[in-house]
Amino acid sequence: MKKIIVPVDFSKHSEFALEAASILAKKYDSEVLALHMLELSNALISDTDGNRQAEAVFFLKLAEQKFTDFLDKPYLKDIKVTPIVKHFKVFGEVNDVAKEHNADLIVMGSHGSSGIKEVFIGSNTEKVVRHSDIPVLVVKYTPTLIEFENVVFACDFSKESIKPYINASALFSKLGAKLHLVYVNLPGASFKSSTEMETRVSDFLKIADGHTDNMENVHYVSDYSIEDGILNFASIKGADLVAVATHGRKGLAHFFEGSISEDIANHSNLPVMTFKI
């Protein structure tokens, strides 16, 4: 993990993300790319009127100074921090910056306790997750410790989950983390027998890994909801992180409906990392 992007909007949640990134940077000797997007209209920036241009320069300098002050944090000491200022305000463009700098991870802060539609929909975090081709780590609290030793990857072992599984496996292998795959078996129409579950998982791993060696790391959990099964399993395993797949531009809400519910993000005390399908 060489480069970590942290979009900064000066909120306490972006400070949570910045501190979380600093912990990872120290552990993995990474560079932190602190990205601030100036909320100035194109009309103001491109206006040829002298007074309007002076106004634009004033706001640019003011924002840049505020950004500099925001990055003056003791936990960033001895970390290579590269400030990046962009004159756009579309958070979906964070992915373009990630590509430009060959970043490995985006870290964002998010409040979250009252539902995905309130936490993510229309928010900067959701916009970044929708467009990002690289993993996005979402943190909700002041980080005291960020570890990737035990990671729970929630998976339905469908074909569209192969890509995020491969990406997650590669990342956590590099970080030396133990990846626990969890399949939640539900009562009712979704119920599957042990043979059906094992066959589904075996077929999945043959395609994704080319073998079934990882069957021993797959855990079958029976519960009344997928989110309860995942969070209960993560608690039992003492997991440091919950990883999930997202449908990218279709949004988190689309992914969570009928699958991993909004309770994953809202009720988990653990950080959540997303991998794009």
Most confidently modeled of 119-123, 245-249, 266-270? 266-270
The whole-angstrom separation of Cα 260 and Cα 262 is 7
For residue 113, pLDDT over 60 is answered with: no
Backbone angles phi, psi at 186, to 5 degrees: -105, 155
Supply the pLDDT for residue 50: 62
- pLDDT band for position 53 (50/70/90)? low
Least confident of 10-14, 58-62, 225-229, 230-234: 58-62
Supply the pLDDT for residue 29: 94
Residue ranges per structural domain of the chain: 3-139, 150-276
| pTM for the model | 0.83
Q: Across all residues in the chain, what is the average pLDDT?
A: 82
CA dist list (Å): 229 to 25, 183, 196, 215: 32, 9, 19, 19
Mean pLDDT to the nearest integer, 15-42: 87
Least confident of 2-11, 19-28, 161-170, 265-274: 265-274
Q: Which of 127, 77, 76 is nearest to 106 (CA)?
A: 127
- pLDDT band for position 195 (50/70/90)? very high
Give yes or no for a contact between 34 and 18, defined as CB atoms under 8 angstroms apart: yes
Supply the pLDDT for residue 123: 66
Mean pLDDT to the nearest integer, 118-136: 70
Do 3-139 and 150-276 fold alike per CATH?
A: yes
Topology classification of domain 3-139: Rossmann fold (3.40.50)
- pLDDT band for position 105 (50/70/90)? very high
Question: To which CATH superfamily is domain 150-276 assigned?
Answer: HUPs (3.40.50.620)
